[in-house]
Each structure stands twice: as C-alpha cells, then as structure tokens.
Chains A and B, each alone.
Chain A
C-alpha cells in the first residue's frame, strides 16, 4: 500500500493533491501491467477504470471497417487514459492498445465516484483535473481536425 501511495503521489495527474485525498484514492487503486499489443480496453465495453500511465505507450484507436484500426492519439508516461468512467453510460468510445510493455495505476471508477460523492472537496479536485485534460485533448483534436499540414498548410 505504501508503494501504491508513493506511485500515486508522484504521478503528474495527482501532483499537489492533499494527503488525505491521496489516502482515499489508495483504496481505489491498483498496479497493473500490460504486454505489447495487449488491449487495455475495447470500444463499447463498460468503462470500469481509468489509468495513470507510469511507463510505456498506449495507442488510442478507432476501428474503421474495411481499413482496420486508425490510431488517433498516443498516451504515454505521466499521462492519463480514460474518462468514460466519469460520464454515463460509462462505456469506452475507443480501443486502447499497448505499443510497449506498459505499467500503470488503475483506479476503480465506481469506487472513486462513491468517494467523490462522499467528499465533494475530493470530487471537485478530481473533476478540475479531468476538465483540464479534457480541455487540452479537445484543443488537440480540433487542431488535428483542421488538417493544418494539408494543402492549406505552409508552402
């Protein structure tokens, strides 16, 4: 448990979180490991957890019938994977496939939702941190959609 707490505390996503809140999170967390090529989750399945990546790279993919998987984002060390656990109906929208040996901290969504209900200070802190990541990814997605390196690009 001590190791788990230390891993949580040093991950970029939780940096600066109050000690008592970290204590609450430890009860929802576990260490996980995935082999290269292994799926962390699949589109349409229940989003029971989210992942704080400690090591490795995960490809977020969407499957296009007739073409196969299309990678839309890579999640790497120090980053966070998955927010579908936070938003009903709690289903994954994409596939997540490991590109390398990946180690992460997995947090149980139902467990954390309950703790956030019980302690709104923790809930607000978690939602603020997720909002920041969602906002960064939305901005990145908009840039990707602009296709800035296409014919409208430079030169």
Chain B
C-alpha cells in the first residue's frame, strides 16, 4: 500500500480519466489521483476498495498493466447498488480508492514453466494484469495458454485485446462461448472442456484460474485429470470483502481472510474452503 494514506480505512480521491463500455453490462474505468499524480503500484491479481461517495464501497480487482503505474484501471459489471451508480459516472467524477490489497498471481514463480490461464466471464479482468506481465517477460516462460469462456460472443471482455493476443505467434489463445446465434465462427462449449486439449506440459505448468466458483471447481478437476499438481494451481476467490485489511471478518473462510490471505490462493491450501457453501 505504498502510496496510500497512513490510515488504511481512509480512501484517497481519484478522478475518472476514461470510461469504456466493454459489454452491455460491463465497463472499465481509468482512474488518476485527483490531486498530485504519484502513480499507483500494484501486483497482478490485487484489488482495490472503490468508494462511490454517498453510496458505498466495494472490492474490485485491478485490471490494468502493473508496468504502467500512471493508469489505475478497473473493470466491473453493473449488477449491484454501487456498481450500477458507478456505471453512470462521467469523466472527471471522483471515486474513493483504498488499496491495493491482497495477494497476487505468482507470475515471477512461473518462470521456467508453461503457464495456463483458465478464466470465464469477468474473471478475465483480474487476470489481465498477469497476461501483461507474462507478455512483458515472454522469454521467461514456456508455452503460454489462455482459455477464456464467455456467455455469448457479445459478452467477450476486452475483445480487441483478446483478438490481438490470438494473433501472437507465441501465445495459445482459445475462446469459447456457452451459446451463439448465427454468424459466430468460433468455438461453442464450456471452457473446462478446453483443458484436456490445451497445449501445455502438465508436469511443468503453473495454472491461474479465475471465474465463477463452479467454473473454478470443474476447471481444477480437469487440470488435475491432466496431471497438474495441486500446488501448481492458483485460484482467485471472492468472498464479501469489506475492510480489505483482515479486520472486519466479513470475508473470513476457515482461518483465512480472503481480503488479506487471498484473493489469490494456491489451490492445495484452500481446496477444502471451496466446498464451504455459506460464510
């Protein structure tokens, strides 16, 4: 939390620099500090608490490039009270930001391994910083595979960027949708079904998984079938985070606070928690 106030519960004002409509219900906000521009360092996979003044505060993963501290980027979906108001904000409007919080994707540790990213829906947002990191040090990794599932072709996030990644010679990018009307020439089917055919060496692979928890469960099942060990699988969990600093207990699961000990967990350390139905 390098550039935040000494009081971790006190948000800092950021102004909206750019609003990008990604899909019919998903949008991206670029933020910059409202006062002096000091940049914003974070690690891929971390999140911020974003405060819409007078409405409420919510945790949102940072989805920008960790190597570009001048732009603080968040992608979210207008589904709740706070995000629905956030969706209506305009350029120059201000938000409160606390963070960055939580653990990060093990990108540095993945050096020398193949990397397979399996994600679905808006789960691509917290993984995009990891993609940027992998691409900026591409020579350090073996095969890099992105398997991405969306509901329909219209729901594909960061469409232009995903197309660009697909055109790279040293990336394997596979996109699938759950259903599609005429005109879609891509794959239809669930993302988990792509794991058995994906080009990676299961014994030398780090897997990064983010999406709805049902998708995570079935993805992990497929990765384990391929032979990827539990301690090489990392998942991002989300559980009702409030304070962001492991104080309030809202996101406590077992002995872990998801906001502090997560959101990125090594699978072998939390596999029992994935079976907990209510917190």
A contacts, CB < 8 Å to B: 57, 59-60, 67-74, 76, 78, 99, 136, 139-140, 143-144, 146-155
Q: Cβ of A154 and Cβ of B192 under 8 Å apart? A: no
Interface positions, chain B 104-150, Cβ under 8 Å from A, are: 120-123, 125, 149-150
Q: Cβ of B182 and Cβ of A68 under 8 Å apart? A: yes
Instruction: Give the docked Cα–Cα distance between A147 and B121 (Å).
Output: 10
Q: Cβ of A154 and Cβ of B211 under 8 Å apart? A: yes
Q: Cβ of B181 and Cβ of A149 under 8 Å apart? A: no
Interface residues on B, range: 35 or more
Q: Cβ of B181 and Cβ of A140 under 8 Å apart? A: no
In the complex, what residues of B have CB within 8 A of residue A152's CB? 212
Q: Is the interface of B mostly helix, strand, loop or mixed?
A: mixed
Q: Cβ of B60 and Cβ of A149 under 8 Å apart? A: no
Q: Cβ of B79 and Cβ of A149 under 8 Å apart? A: no
Q: Cβ of B214 and Cβ of A59 under 8 Å apart? A: no
Contact residue among B121, B192, B193, B218 (Cβ-Cβ distance under 8 Å from A149): B121
Q: Cβ of B188 and Cβ of A143 under 8 Å apart? A: no
In the complex, what residues of A have CB within 8 A of residue B176's CB? 74
Q: Cβ of B212 and Cβ of A78 under 8 Å apart? A: no
Whether B245 sits at the interface, judged by CB under 8 Å, is no
In the complex, what residues of A have CB within 8 A of residue B180's CB? 70-71
Whether B187 sits at the interface, judged by CB under 8 Å, is yes
Q: Cβ of B192 and Cβ of A140 under 8 Å apart? A: yes
Residue of B nearest to A59 (CB): B188
In the complex, what residues of B have CB within 8 A of residue A70's CB? 179-181
In the complex, what residues of A have CB within 8 A of residue B122's CB? 149, 153-155
